[in-house]
Structures are given as C-alpha cells and as structure tokens.
C-alpha cells in the first residue's frame, strides 16, 4: 500500500514540476460559477498556483465550470509572487491566495520519500525469520527457506 502511495506521490511531484515549466509561458485557470455573482478560480501562472474567489455584482462569466487559457504576459508576477513565495491579496469583492509550485513539488517529494521509507522498513513479526520472513513454527531452530539459524530464546 505504502509503495503505491510513494509512486503516486512521486508522479504528482513530477507533474508539479512539469506544470511549473508550463506555467512560465501559459496561464491556465478552471473557473467555476458558484452563484450569479460569485466565482472560484484555481489555476497557475508564472510558477505559482492561484486560488481566486470573487464576489462582485458586476462579475459576469458563463455559468458552470469552464477553462481559461492564455499566454503569460505579466512578467512582474515573477518578482511579486514567485520569488517571495506565499502571498494573499484581498480587495473589494475578491480574495487571492498565491503559493509557489516548487512548494507543491517539495510536499509531494517529501511524501514520496516518507511512503517509500515506510514501505521498505523491515517488519519483525514474531515467529518468522529475520532475514527472509519465512514462518518458523514448524522448524524453530533454523529457517528452512534460507538456512539462517534462529537465536536461542532467553530463559
């Protein structure tokens, strides 16, 4: 189980790095209309993930979920958000949260390392060989699978 989680976490880490490279040239947002004047947008631009909530009476976008794609033309965002890391903006009717994609990739990389470490940790089960894990109930003095002698039990 943990090995599969390690692989999934590593794949998500690599996907985050690929998205970081992609976001240096393109802006991509998924925008969902929550109510007639309230929207939630989640996307990437200039190496950062943006979570944008808008509650503006003049906001008119198509209802439902849609995708917005465009060229990354705001180079100032690199210095404002990517270098400084995390950021939050708030104004009249909107809230924006920014966090860098390198952070997302790092979280997934640490997760992959931890899951891999947990999955390869030796499991000591009572009554099994310490070397190969074979069941020793039938031959308590040595392992029939690998031949390892079993340590004498303390009295």
Give the per-residue pLDDT at 155: 39
pLDDT of residue 139: 83
Residues 136 and 75 in one domain: no
Q: Is residue 19 located within the same domain as residue 65?
A: yes
HSE on the CB side for 122, CA within 13 Å?
A: 8
| pLDDT in 10s for each residue of the chain, 155 residues | 677 888 888 898 899 889 888 887 888 888 887 777 788 888 888 788 888 888 866 666 666 677 777 776 655 555 555 455 788 888 888 888 888 888 888 889 998 888 887 776 666 677 788 788 788 888 878 888 888 888 755 43
CB 68 within 8 A of CB 22: no
Is residue 96 domain-shared with residue 40, that is, in the same domain? yes
pLDDT at position 58 is: 66
Q: 3-state class of 117 per DSSP?
A: helix
* 52 and 107, same domain (yes or no): yes
Cβ-Cβ contacts under 8 Å for 103 (sequence gap 6 or more) = 85, 86
Tell whether 77 and 135 lie within a shared domain: no
Torsion angles phi and psi, residue 128, rounded to 5: -125, 160
User: pTM of the entire structure?
Assistant: 0.60
How many domains does the chain contain in total?
A: 2
Kindly state whether residue 90 falls inside one of the protein's structural domains: yes
pLDDT at 61: 61
């Amino acid at each position: 189980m943990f090995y599969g989680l390690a692989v999934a976490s590593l794949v998500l880490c690599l996907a985050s790095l690929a998205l970081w490279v992609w976001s240096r040239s393109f802006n991509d947002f998924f925008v969902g209309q929550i109510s007639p004047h309230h929207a939630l947008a989640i996307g990437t631009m200039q190496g950062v993930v943006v979570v944008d909530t808008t509650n503006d009476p003049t906001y008119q976008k198509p209802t439902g979920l849609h995708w917005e794609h465009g060229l990354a033309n705001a180079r100032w965002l690199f210095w404002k958000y990517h270098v400084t890391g995390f950021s939050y903006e708030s104004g009249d009717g909107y809230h924006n949260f920014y966090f860098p994609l390198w952070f997302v990739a790092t979280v997934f990389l640490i997760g992959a390392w931890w899951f891999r470490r947990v999955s390869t940790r030796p499991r000591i089960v009572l009554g099994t060989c310490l070397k190969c894990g074979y069941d020793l109930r039938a031959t308590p003095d040595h392992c029939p699978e690998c031949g390892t002698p079993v340590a004498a039990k303390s009295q």
